[in-house]
Amino acid sequence: MAAEMIIDMTKTFSGRAPIQARLRYEVEASTVLILFGPSGSGKTTILRSVAGLEWPEEGRIQFLSRIWLETKSGIRVSPQDRQIGYMPQDYALFPTYSVAGNIAYGLGGLAPHDRSKRVAEVVELFQLQGFEATKPRELSGGQQQRVALARAVAPRPQLLLLDEPLSALDAPTRLQLRGELRTLLKQLALPSIIVTHDWAEALTLGDVMAVMGEGQVHQVGKPHEVFSCPADANVARIVGVETVVQGQVIENANGLATVAVNGTRLKGLGSAAIGAAVYVCIRAEDVVVEQAGSGRTSARNHLMGRVSGIAPQGVMVQVTIDCGFPLTATITRGAVEDLGLVPGASVIAAIKAGAVHLVPRSS
Amino acid sequence: MNWTAIWVTFKLASLTAGVLLVVGLPIAYWLTFSKWRWKFIVESVVALPLVLPPTVLGFYILVAIGPHSPVGRFYSDVVGHPLPFTFEGLLLASILYSLPFAVQPFAAAFEQVDRRLIEASWTLGVSKLATFFKLIVPLSMAGLVTGAVLSFAHTLGEFGVVLMVGGNIEGETRTVSIDIYDEVQALNYAGAAKTALLLLAVSYGVLLLVYAMNRKVWAVWPQK
């Protein structure tokens, strides 16, 4: 049997749609599962159930060969016995303990000498030298996040559970820590589950992604595949980024990067180095469709292409344009009629450089 | 001043506070964290001494530990003398009488502890009991001191329960408040005044400590 994580659970909170999640995926040494969805979709409840902090009324949670919950046979493993590292959204650092005290908190089973050795190791790994005696409230948000992660990792857990690990940070810090977190997770060689509603985080950090909505798992797959090929309209609405394609940075000047995607050149904002592999992410409502041969605009990207699909979605129409890669645009019904769009028609897709998001691809 | 009565009173109050610190903590923990739907029944029982006249409480304790009850018979069989009108009987009555003064501040302090901290502790492999001592107790220190101090102060001034259960035995169950009453009955106002003043000063000092402890800004010594 392959090493697997199996989550099959039902949990009801009064006044809310029941959470009925079924999910199973293969776990390797450092597989990162992303639980992706809007707030209230049940992703945090699933994470907490895996942590043993929430008890589903019914179901089964199995990590590798260990069964943590099986309501049928009455198996309920306590959070203490699951050997997990759990980081809640607001970090929950212990205010009465110093940074070193927080990190050492879960190391009660070690002899004092081994404990201080492990604390020193972890402090170094998370670059917290000099802060050992500092109380958590005196730290910046980014430092608190590192301490929380260090505390979760110190007892050498088998599985790391992170609830919105970056959402409490300001935007520049978040961007910086996103990349660091990916490197760190690979370095730790520790399977993890990360809850997020940020698609850039999902693309950067995830190996597998489960899209959640209204308490159900809608789709499970590789993050860029889920983004570019949502299983249904529901998933497409939840992920909100219709075009995700792989590209390579070929030029970068003053923060404006040129990316080659399957022969087509696109300009986007980003500081990725030349040669770097990136995901190019474009939201469908940011794409303007023009008739071929019309005038100049301020948009930096004008992609020649052919309409390959037209799918009405309520008042809007989703138009797929083949311009070297499939690009999705959302426009009104009126625009489709005005432009006389039919499959096969030649069009130009205009996208502002600011709407072309470049997300570094994990190696 | 009747130093024997003062000694008995302080011994009684210290032991009551000490026992309540041990007995009150698990009760307060259970009251705070239990999800049992009928919990309010136990909460009401714990709060009963707040509203019950001390004589009523004392009467029931007296009956409960007297020679006609199984508890009282068992005690006198084991120890050799009955429980009422002894210091031990008085101590038991004081503990029950001051129970809400310890348990309620404890529970209020536990209630203030962020559940997410407790959960974080559990996921780090730390047992519920160890989490209680390593995390909950340090975070609830002000409430624990308040509960201990309040039950101490409350025991200092008890009168009705002492009279019902302890009687008035010099060196055994004669406390300061009874001593003051006796002095007044004997028209020895000067003696009563001195003892009363001592009780007033101690009670005031104790309450000063409680209120200082519970201020957001540490008033007694600077917060580290």
Torsion-angle region of B159 (φ positive above 0: left; ψ -120 to 50: alpha; else: beta): alpha
Q: What is the pLDDT of residue B134?
A: 94
Is A85 in the B-facing interface, judged by CB distances under 8 Å? yes
Q: Residue B224: its chain A contacts at CB < 8 A?
A: none
pLDDT at A85: 95
Query: If you measure CA to CA, which chain B residue comes closest to A52?
Result: B123
The β-bridge relationship of strands A216-221 and A84-87 is unpaired
B133 touches chain A (CB under 8 A): no
Q: How far apart are CA A195 and CA A201, in angstroms?
A: 10
* Mutate: best of A96, A119, A149, A160, partner B, most B CBs <10 A: A96
Whole-angstrom CA distances from B114 to A51, B33, B191 are 18, 12, 51
Q: A350: which residues sit within 8 A by CB, 6+ positions away?
A: A287, A288, A289, A290, A297, A299, A301, A302, A303
User: CB-based contact (8 Å) between A136 and chain B?
Assistant: no
- The string over B171-192, giving b where at least 16 C-beta atoms fall within 10 Å of a residue's C-beta and e elsewhere, is ebbbbbbbbbebbeeeeeeebb
Question: What average pLDDT does the segment B209-222 reach?
Answer: 62
Give every CB contact of residue B177 below 8 A, 6+ residues apart in sequence: B9, B156, B157, B158, B159, B162, B199
Integer angstrom CA distances of residue B69 from A212, A352, B36, B64:
63, 89, 31, 6
Does the pLDDT of residue B49 top 50, yes or no? yes
Q: Distances in Å between the alpha carbon of B58 and those of B49, B84, B96, B201?
A: 10, 10, 10, 27
Q: Contact A51/A79 with Cβ under 8 angstroms?
A: yes
Determine the distance in angstroms separating the CA of B186 from the nearest CA of chain A, rounded to an integer: 55
Dmax over CA atoms of chain A, in Å, equals 76
- Terminal Cα-to-Cα distance of chain B (whole angstroms): 41
Q: Which of A51, A49, A44, A86 is nearest to A71 (CA)?
A: A49
Could you give the CA distance from residue A87 to residue A196 in angstroms, rounded to a whole number?
A: 13
Sheet of strand A4-11: strand arrangement: A75-76, A66-70, A58-63, A4-11, A19-26, A216-221, A208-213, A32-36, A192-196, A159-163, A84-87
- C-alpha–C-alpha distance, residues A13 and A141, integer Å: 31
Where do the H-state alpha helices sit in A56-170? Answer: 99-104, 112-125, 141-153
DSSP state of A273: P
Is there a contact between A86 and B130 if contact means CB atoms under 8 Å apart? Answer: no
Within 8 A of B127 by CB-CB distance, chain A residues are: 80
Residue B218: the pLDDT is 45
Give contacts of B124 with chain A, Cβ < 8 Å: 105-106, 151-152, 155
**pLDDT greater than 80 at residue B1:** no
pTM check: above 0.90: no
Residue A216 has phi, psi (to 5 degrees) of -120, 150
CB proximity B127 to A under 8 Å: yes
In Å, how far is A151's CA from the nearest CA of chain B? 8
Pairs of residues, one from chain A and one from chain B, whose beta carbons lie less than 8 Å apart: 60
pLDDT at B217: 46
> Which chain B residue has its CA at the smallest distance from A162's CA?
B120
Q: What is the DSSP string of B89-108?
A: HHHHHHHHHHHHHHHHHHHH
Provide, as residue numbers in chain A, all residues whose Cβ is less than 8 Å from the Cβ of B138: 96
| Chain A, nearest residue to B134 by Cα | A105
* pLDDT for the residue numbered A294: 62
pLDDT top residue among B91 and A245: B91
Tokens representing B215 are: 């201020």
B122 → closest Cβ in A79, A95, A109: A79
Distance separating alpha carbons of residues A124 and A119, to the nearest angstrom = 9
Cα dihedral A331, A337, A339, A340 in deg (nearest 10) = 130
Interface membership of A42 toward B (CB under 8 Å): no
Q: Give average pLDDT by consecutive 10-residue segment, chain A, 363 residues.
A: 86 88 90 92 93 94 94 94 94 95 93 94 93 94 93 95 90 83 88 92 91 91 84 80 86 86 86 84 85 72 88 84 89 88 89 84 61
- Closest-CA distance of chain B to residue A115, Å: 14
The answer to whether B57 and B165 are in contact (CB under 8 A) is no
Q: Would you call A101 an interface residue with chain B, using a CB distance cutoff of 8 Å? A: no
Phi-psi region of A314 (alpha: psi -120 to 50; beta: other; left: phi over 0): left
Could B125 and A80 be called an inter-chain contact, meaning their C-beta atoms sit closer than 8 Å?
Answer: yes
B9, B196 Cβ separation under 8 angstroms:
no
Q: How far apart are CA B5 and CA B169, in angstroms?
A: 10
- pLDDT, residue B222, reads 44
Q: Give tens-digit pLDDT for B51-84.
A: 999 999 999 999 998 888 888 888 888 888 888 8
Pick from A88, A35, A44: nearest CA to A238:
A35
B224: confidence class by pLDDT, cuts 50, 70, 90: very low
- Residue A134: what pLDDT? 94
Alpha carbon distance, N-terminus to C-terminus of chain A: 27
Pick from A51, A90, A108: CB nearest B123: A51
The Cα of B131 is separated from the nearest Cα of chain A by a number of Å equal to 10
Contact A204, A362 (CB under 8 A): yes
Asked whether the predicted pLDDT for residue B220 surpasses 50, the reply is no
Nearest CB among B125, B130, B135 relative to A155 is that of B125
Average the pLDDT over B27-38 and give the result.
Answer: 93
CB-count exposure of residue A48 (10 Å: 0-12, 13-18, 19+): buried
Which chain B residue has the Cα nearest residue A101?
A: B134
Q: Supply the pLDDT for residue B152.
A: 92
Residues ≥6 apart with Cβ < 8 Å to B120: A86, A88, A92, A94, A151
Q: Do the beta carbons of residue A274 and residue A252 sit within 8 Å? A: yes
What is the arithmetic mean of pLDDT over B176-202? 91
Output the DSSP codes for A200-244.
HHHHHH-SEEEEEETTEEEEEE-HHHHHHS-SSHHHHHHH---EE
Residue of B nearest to A94 (CA): B117
Q: Could you write out the DSSP letters of every residue in chain B?
A: --HHHHHHHHHHHHHHHHHHHHHHHHHHHHHHH---TTHHHHHHHHHHHHHS-HHHHHHHHHHHHSTTSHHHHHHHHHHSS-STTSHHHHHHHHHHHHHHHHHHHHHHHHHHS-HHHHHHHHHTT--HHHHIIIIIHHHTHHHHHHHHHHHHHHHHT--HHIIIII---TTTT--HHHHHHHHHHTT-HHHHHHHHHHHHHHHHHHHHHHHHHTSSS-SSS---
